[in-house]
A and B are shown apart, each in its own frame.
Chain A
């Protein structure tokens, strides 16, 4: 390990300059913005916590917060369960692994815009191939555009479709890292495949699961495009999520103050969620899990 010298400090400049100028300073400035009233072309007027009061008494905000909470939890946990199942399936052996991985990874390469477009068309009531299949099975009209719960379900579906490859890979890599000798020992001890999964694979994958949970919670919290492109928050702002609420107040209504307050509330929420999991991970490490 070498001591930091001027040349090394110079090499850190690009990364830290980008982070400082684009993320750190603006984030701090947003806090100042959130304490002021401001809109296009007007000067800032200090209003203290008024913006926070406005946001926290807005029913649209609470609706967005609730939607975010529901969708984020649904996305993260359903995705996690599917990913664990898939990883276990792959762990049991897969033919043509390169091709299978290539196929599994495909949704990762797709733009959210295109993902929404495809699913929207396939689920379009009366004409989409999936909607008609559902309807022909006798479930009635699949009219998600007028039903907020259905619309949010579609958002959840698309979001899971997009991000499953990511979660799957993290968990699969975690399972792959378990030494083969543990399974051999378990087999000698007479464990069935089912017991192997519950007693060896799953407990030893928990670190990977926690990491992917943090990643996914943090990312899911940013959910914007799927909702914006699918429903634009409608009908009647009933399907908005926090990022959409922020975008609307900032860029549609020009209320930078309330938008900033929303932003800070999002930051706090995001850090809160992440810190719970970081804390859980930290505790595991303290317990001497290596």
Chain B
């Protein structure tokens, strides 16, 4: 036993100090992350409950008596706002349904069937996501106009769904790949048609993937700006568009109302994203693994 190194006791006190320092630094970093992520959003939300004169007070009050006056004003004075929220909802729900329906079907085929065309078109699905979508506005603009679809919900629904359908197909494929093939075979032996297999056996087991796709498309469609700017003018105008218009034209006393409107616009999706984080993370990893 003579040639084995003997154990030297380390300086325990120094080690404890180092540990404490580490813990403090880590906590500070976490606080920094919280402030960075949440502060801008809390700032708007809190401001929407402040008196007009308090909004731009410096330094800002953290504790104050909330007022709902801006929300009242939102309903009465800024009448254009709620119709655009309705448009946003219609467009987001429509795009989500279309993209999910299409990608469930195609994701199933990509997962369960094999041939050369399918293998090749996977590359096409990836490549098509690399194109900057703004490019397609130029030829689509006159076509949409000629079809009298300009300023309708349909245009935005179709556009938004298309931007996501390739990624969602890959997400669905990844999720369906994880379901054992023998389940399909059992269903076929049980007498199920392809559609019955998909909707009775596969879909219930791939709901996580559907949820992930739905969140991606919904959040994107709810918030999108560029295509709404180009393809809508009046009837189908979405909430981000009207917020951007008011933002440029806002005068002294209306900041509170704008903040109230913004709060109404951002709160539902923020809560959705926070609550559905599990699906989002699962979907993100599924979508990225397969390119």
Q: Which residues of A contact B (CB under 8 A)?
A: 1-5, 7-8, 11-12, 14-16, 18-19, 22-24, 26-27, 29-30, 33, 86, 89, 92, 94, 98, 100-115, 117-120, 122, 127, 129, 132, 161, 165-166, 169-170, 173, 208, 211-212, 215, 218, 221-222, 224-225, 228-229, 243, 246-247, 250-251, 256, 259-260, 263-264, 266-267, 270-271, 274
State which of B44, B113, B134, B241 has its C-beta within 8 Å of the C-beta of A118.
B44
Cβ-closest chain B residue relative to A250: B138
In the complex, A243→B131 CA distance in Å? 12
Query: Is B169 positioned at the interface, with any CB of A under 8 Å from its CB?
Result: yes
B interface SS class: helix
B109, A26: Cβ atoms closer than 8 Å: no
Q: Scan B221-237; emit 1 where CB is below 8 A from any A CB, else 0.
A: 01111100010000000
State which of A22, A129, A218 has its C-beta within 8 Å of the C-beta of B158.
A22
A243, B134: Cβ atoms closer than 8 Å: yes
> Number of contacting residues on B, CB 8 A?
86
Beyond A101-B277, A103-B38, A215-B288, is A111–B222 a contact (Cβ under 8 Å)?
yes
Query: Is B262 positioned at the interface, with any CB of A under 8 Å from its CB?
Result: yes
6 nearest A-B pairs in the assembled complex, by CB-CB distance: A111-B223, A263-B135, A102-B274, A15-B106, A14-B102, A1-B114
State which of B169, B247, B281 has its C-beta within 8 Å of the C-beta of A113.
B247
A161, B40: Cβ atoms closer than 8 Å: yes
Contacts of A114 in B (CB 8 A): 44, 223, 240, 243, 262, 265-266
Contacts of A250 in B (CB 8 A): 137-138
Contacts of B288 in A (CB 8 A): 170, 173, 208, 211-212, 215
B277, A98: Cβ atoms closer than 8 Å: yes
Cβ-closest chain A residue relative to B289: A211
23 inter-chain pairs at a CB distance below 8 angstroms, sorted by A residue, are A3-B113, A8-B109, A14-B106, A19-B125, A19-B166, A26-B139, A29-B139, A30-B139, A103-B37, A103-B274, A105-B277, A108-B280, A111-B239, A111-B240, A117-B243, A118-B43, A122-B40, A129-B58, A169-B281, A218-B129, A259-B138, A263-B138, A270-B130
